């Protein structure tokens, strides 16, 4: 089999058996990037020399018999929101264009310690604010299934890279659905771990109470392998959970839902959802029932308020976090010609450095936090957040996991929603509740929507620190649906290789 078509688990086995070297695997993926990324634009920076050096180091250790982890020699793409020593970190923004951080994010360090080969940094919506990757200051990424469509966002570059066989694995961040939504529309697997289960140290902050790093992959097992390698307590992150990583790899291998209680969330379907997405979702639920799961409908009445609550909480936190980009310490500095004072330079830099969506959210958040409006807007949104958490608690008393479509629609056209922020925000309708509550969730492909032939995703949600349940259900659905369709549903890159 062509190396780039192999899963991470298959590559791991071949590397361990000495059938292929890390250098060969890395070179194959670098060649694939070189051959396809002019059309996909998944990467903002390709670290070819550094990747080959890492691969050679892994091969050297393997040759001496040094014990290595399962991801040693397996390539991974990194969203450009994780700091990486020796590589630029831009967050998709002009305001950080050319910035080379002096340190690694904890997750970047863990990938290196695991022997994973970092191929480079992937494109993203500026500061992770968007659902299409069109908000990147460096141009949009494209969906490998159809190059006229978006790959989702904000981790669209990571999802596109995996779906296009440029990398078997990638990491992203999920603040309102920024892993699961691009995974769904690109036909791959994406997980939002329990908030605090994966370190935020070195992740350039958008909304600190929501940002959650997680894996993207072409199979459930691959996502679990990366999830396990990147997760765990980090004393450098004050919100990190000091608890063992749930046994996600074992759960992905178990793939058994017999006797599990699965709750279908009534509020996350119906009017406004694409009929083809609902068709594939209903089939996936039927498949789970046929495997022995007990399916019931549950109601989470406050989920209908999740979107407006999110768009008060997240912009408020973004307003606070992005105040650090002041042109004084790092990144872009505009208008500093000796005739302007610091305040004028700061204003010019922010004017030129931030894109329209980032400015929109900073303005919204600053207003929501302002004197006289804090209680009416930000305070009320936090109360709604509490009600959503209680909805989850009540639902999980009736079901082991909850399910819904991962997105209301399949991938939409590039430019189609660019001038309509509300239409863009609706892409995260299904994913936002789990971010507000902090519980775990995954998107797994559930087929191609019959009305347009594009991928649809099944979302599985589990209580906090029950991440292993996600993988157990997702792996069972993946196996059964693959058998039903007669071929894997993942990462066909049809738009590239047709």
State the DSSP string of 308-367: HHHHHHHHHHHHHHGGG--SSSSS---S-SSSS-HHHHHHHHHHHHS-HHHHHHHHHHHH
Task: Answer whether residue 285 is part of any domain.
Answer: no
Q: Minimal CA–CA distance to 23: which of 54, 1, 46, 45? A: 54
- Which of the following is catalytic: 109, 131, 178, 199? 178
208 is known as an active-site residue: no
Q: Minimal CA–CA distance to 438: which of 176, 83, 73? A: 176
Question: What is the residue-averaged pLDDT of the chain?
Answer: 95
- HSE-CB at 405 with a 13 A cutoff on CA atoms is 31
pLDDT at residue 495, as a whole number: 66
Q: Minimal CA–CA distance to 362: which of 72, 129, 111, 13? A: 129
Dist CA 455 CA 174 (whole Å):
20
Residue 168: phi and psi, rounded to 5, are -75, -20
Note the pLDDT tens digit of each residue in 205-225: 999 999 999 999 999 999 999
pLDDT at residue 488, as a whole number: 46
Cα 148–149–150 angle (5° rounding)?
A: 130
Q: Is the pLDDT of residue 104 over 50?
A: yes
Contact 133, 151 (CB under 8 A): yes
79 is known as an active-site residue: yes
Note the pLDDT tens digit of each residue in 252-278: 999 999 999 999 999 999 889 999 999
Note the pLDDT tens digit of each residue in 153-183: 999 999 999 999 999 999 999 999 999 999 9
Dist CA 120 CA 93 (whole Å):
17
List beta partners, residue 191.
442
Residue 100 token pair: 């080379």
Output 328 or 246, whichever has higher pLDDT.
Answer: 246
What number of other Cβ atoms are within 10 A of residue 159's Cβ? 38
154 is known as an active-site residue: yes
Q: How confident is the model at residue 393 (pLDDT cuts 50, 70, 90)?
A: very high
* Residue at token pair 């908030």: 195
Task: Answer whether residue 239 is part of any domain.
Answer: yes
Q: In what order do the strands lie in the sheet with 117-122?
A: 43-46, 117-122, 75-79, 169-174, 212-217, 189-192, 440-448, 455-462, 401-405, 261-265, 294-298
Task: Answer whether residue 26 is part of any domain.
Answer: yes
- Which of the following is catalytic: 154, 158, 198, 316? 154
Note the pLDDT tens digit of each residue in 182-197: 999 999 999 999 999 9
Range of the domain at 147: 3-255+441-497
Cα 441–265–377 angle (5° rounding)?
A: 75
Q: Is the pLDDT of residue 346 over 50?
A: yes
* Residue at token pair 């091969």: 59
Q: How confident is the model at residue 313 (pLDDT cuts 50, 70, 90)?
A: very high
Helix axes 275-290, 467-485, angle to 10 degrees: 100
pLDDT at residue 428, as a whole number: 96
Q: How confident is the model at residue 496 (pLDDT cuts 50, 70, 90)?
A: confident
Q: Is the pLDDT of residue 356 over 60?
A: yes
Q: Which residues contact 125 (CB under 8 A, 6 or more apart)?
A: 92, 131, 132, 133, 134, 135, 136, 153, 154, 156, 178, 357
Note the pLDDT tens digit of each residue in 474-488: 999 999 998 776 554
* Residue at token pair 């992905």: 252
Integer angstrom CA distances of residue 306 from 145, 206, 407: 30, 18, 15
Residue 261 token pair: 């209680």
Percent of the chain with pLDDT strictly greater than 70:
97
CATH classification at residue 193:
3.90.1300.10
pLDDT at residue 493, as a whole number: 58
Q: Is the pLDDT of residue 345 over 70?
A: yes
Q: Is the pLDDT of residue 490 over 50?
A: no
pLDDT at residue 335, as a whole number: 84
Tell me whether strands 212-217 and 169-174 are parallel, antiparallel or unpaired. antiparallel
Percent of the chain with pLDDT strictly greater than 90:
92
Average pLDDT for 354-363: 97
Helix (H, G, I), strand (E, B) or coil at 99: coil
Dist CA 157 CA 81 (whole Å):
11
Note the pLDDT tens digit of each residue in 105-152: 999 999 999 999 999 999 999 999 999 999 999 999 999 999 999 999
Task: Answer whether residue 78 is part of any domain.
Answer: yes
Helix (H, G, I), strand (E, B) or coil at 164: coil
pLDDT at residue 157, as a whole number: 98
Helix (H, G, I), strand (E, B) or coil at 468: helix
* Residue at token pair 């669209």: 156
Average pLDDT for 198-209: 98
pLDDT at residue 484, as a whole number: 73
pLDDT at residue 154, as a whole number: 98
Task: Answer whether residue 205 is part of any domain.
Answer: yes
Q: How confident is the model at residue 491 (pLDDT cuts 50, 70, 90)?
A: very low
Q: Is the pLDDT of residue 452 over 90?
A: yes
Total domains, the chain: 1
Q: How confident is the model at residue 401 (pLDDT cuts 50, 70, 90)?
A: very high
Task: Answer whether residue 104 is part of any domain.
Answer: yes
Q: Which residues contact 11 (CB under 8 A, 6 or more apart)?
A: 3, 20, 25, 73, 74, 168
Task: Answer whether residue 490 is part of any domain.
Answer: yes
Residue 448 parent element (H or E): strand 440-448
Dist CA 171 CA 412 (whole Å):
23
Task: Answer whether residue 364 is part of any domain.
Answer: no
- Which of the following is catalytic: 79, 121, 149, 192? 79
């Amino acid at each position: 089999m062509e190396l780039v078509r192999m899963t991470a688990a298959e590559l791991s086995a071949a590397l361990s058996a000495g059938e292929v070297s890390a250098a060969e695997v890395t070179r194959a993926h670098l060649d694939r990037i070189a051959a396809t990324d002019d059309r996909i634009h998944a990467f903002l920076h390709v670290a070819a020399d550094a990747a080959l050096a890492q691969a050679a180091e892994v091969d050297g250790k393997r040759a001496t018999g040094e014990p290595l982890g399962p991801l040693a020699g397996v390539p991974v793409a990194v969203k450009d929101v994780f700091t990486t020593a020796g590589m630029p970190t831009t967050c998709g923004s002009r305001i950080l264009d050319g910035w080379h951080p002096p340190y690694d994010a904890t997750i970047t360090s863990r990938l290196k310690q695991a022997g994973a080969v970092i191929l480079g940094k992937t494109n993203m919506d500026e500061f992770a604010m968007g659902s299409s990757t069109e908000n990147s200051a460096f141009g949009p990424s494209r969906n490998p299934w159809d190059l006229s469509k978006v790959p989702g966002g904000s981790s669209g570059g990571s999802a596109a890279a995996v779906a296009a066989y440029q990398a078997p694995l990638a990491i992203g961040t999920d603040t309102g659905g920024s892993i699961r939504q691009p995974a769904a529309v690109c036909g791959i697997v994406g997980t939002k771990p329990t908030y605090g289960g994966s370190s935020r140290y070195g992740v350039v902050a958008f909304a600190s109470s929501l940002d959650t790093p997680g894996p993207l992959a072409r199979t459930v097992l691959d996502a679990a392998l990366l999830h396990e390698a990147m997760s765990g307590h980090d004393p450098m992150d004050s919100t990190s959970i000091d608890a063992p990583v749930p046994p996600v790899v074992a759960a992905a291998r178990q793939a058994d839902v017999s006797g599990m209680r699965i709750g279908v969330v009534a509020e996350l379907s119906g009017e406004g959802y694409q009929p083809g997405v609902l068709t594939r979702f209903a089939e996936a639920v039927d498949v789970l029932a046929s495997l022995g799961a007990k399916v019931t409908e549950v109601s989470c009445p406050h989920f209908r308020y999740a979107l407006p609550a999110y768009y008060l909480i997240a912009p408020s936190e973004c307003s606070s976090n992005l105040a650090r980009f002041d042109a004084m310490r790092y990144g872009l500095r505009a208008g500093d010609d000796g005739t302007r004072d610091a305040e004028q330079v700061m204003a010019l830099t922010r004017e030129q450095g931030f894109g329209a969506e980032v400015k929109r959210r900073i303005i919204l958040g600053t207003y929501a936090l302002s004197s006289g409006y804090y209680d009416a807007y930000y305070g009320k949104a936090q109360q709604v957040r509490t009600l959503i958490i209680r909805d989850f608690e009540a639902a999980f008393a009736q079901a082991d996991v909850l399910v819904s479509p991962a997105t209301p629609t399949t991938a939409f056209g590039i430019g189609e929603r660019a001038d309509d922020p509300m239409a863009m925000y609706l892409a995260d309708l299904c994913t936002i509740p789990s971010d507000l509550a902090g519980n775990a969730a995954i998107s797994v492909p559930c087929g191609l929507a019959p009305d347009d032939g594009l991928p649809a995703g099944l979302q599985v949600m589990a209580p906090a620190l029950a991440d292993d349940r996600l993988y157990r259900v997702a792996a069972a659905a993946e196996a059964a649906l693959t058998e039903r369709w007669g071929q894997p549903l993942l990462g066909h890159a049809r738009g590239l290789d047709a």
